[in-house]
Amino acid sequence: MSDTLRLFVGDCTATFENGDRTEHRGQVAVVVKPDDTVLVHDADGYQPVAWLTRADAVAITTDDGLDLTAHDGDRTLRVRSHRLHLVGSYPTSDAGEPVGHCPDCDGVLVRTTRAVTCVDCDREHVVPADATCHGGRCDCGLPRIRVERGTPIDCCVDYTCESLYEAVIDRFDREWDCPHCGDDLRVFRKGGLLVGCDDYPDCDTSYSFPSGSVVGDCDCGLPVFATGGGRRCLDTACGRHHEPVSQDAVS
């Protein structure tokens, strides 16, 4: 998703107050990100000389040079210019691995930590953190992802086109029996994916559907999942298959 980054370059004084007071003056670049993070960079290294992350409020005027004040609780960053060389606003977006092209604007789609998003328009598809974009393309033109939810699930990043949740439900609904009453365990979506007894509310057995693939059966009768943290029963309170991943397995 594209947004606006503001940039000011010039001879400035930056003052930061948080109980103590620090002051820096020099030829600097002042960057104001779309989330109201303010960074004051000088010529040395990557570390800013002053900054305020995701400020509660940022006030900027340029009528008589730069006058910027950012607040976050008791912390205040003030930047005053003595001479400005550059004032500008520029489009910016989340950055990530390129995974395709947007069907709306033909911009580049990138995989960020939490989503597949276009660098040029507002198209964004939230995907699970463990999803991998494997190079496949859906008929709609968007990338396909692979996610481990009981078994490897391959689907479109656009869940209105091809739903990850529906794929898991189709595969595992009524697959297992409730260990408490013997009725079917249903898979359904409520926020995330849940597994719950079909005899609810008489039986309130329920579990979160974990990441990972089913690799066997627990002694309690429920499935065992191989997850990033090791093997575990669907029931986290069971304890029979809570095995951490060994260093040999990781390497």
- pLDDT(251) > 90: no
Residue 142 and residue 189 share a domain: no
Does the structure show a pLDDT above 80 at 166?
yes
Please say which residue of 149, 168, 187 terminates a domain.
Answer: 168
Q: Residues of the chain with pLDDT > 90: what percent?
A: 78
**Mean pLDDT (whole number) for 165-188:** 94
Q: Give the per-residue pLDDT at 46.
A: 93
Q: Do 55 and 118 belong together in one domain? A: no
Residues 62-70: what's their mean pLDDT? Answer: 95
Range of the domain at 246: 172-250
Residues 42, 61 share a domain:
yes
pLDDT for 240: 66
Query: Which tens digit of pLDDT belongs to each residue from 13-60?
Result: 999 999 899 999 999 999 999 999 999 999 999 999 999 999 999 999
User: For the segment 141-157, what is each residue's pLDDT rounded down to a tens digit?
Assistant: 899 999 999 999 999 99
Q: Percentage of the chain with pLDDT > 70?
A: 94
Are residues 28 and 79 both part of a single domain? yes
Query: In the listed set 60, 92, 124, which residue is the last one of a domain according to the structure?
Result: 92
248 has a pLDDT exceeding 80? no
The residue with greater pLDDT, 248 or 99, is 99
17 and 84 part of one domain: yes
Q: What value does the mean pLDDT take over residues 226-251?
A: 71
Q: What is the mean pLDDT of residues 223-240?
A: 88
- 247 pLDDT band, cuts 50/70/90, is very low
Specify the number of domains making up the chain.
Answer: 3
Residues 10 and 88 in one domain: yes
pLDDT for the residue numbered 250: 40
Rounded Cα–Cα distance for residues 21 and 245 (Å): 48
Residues 112 and 38 in one domain: no
- Examine the domain organization and report whether 134 and 180 are in the same domain: no
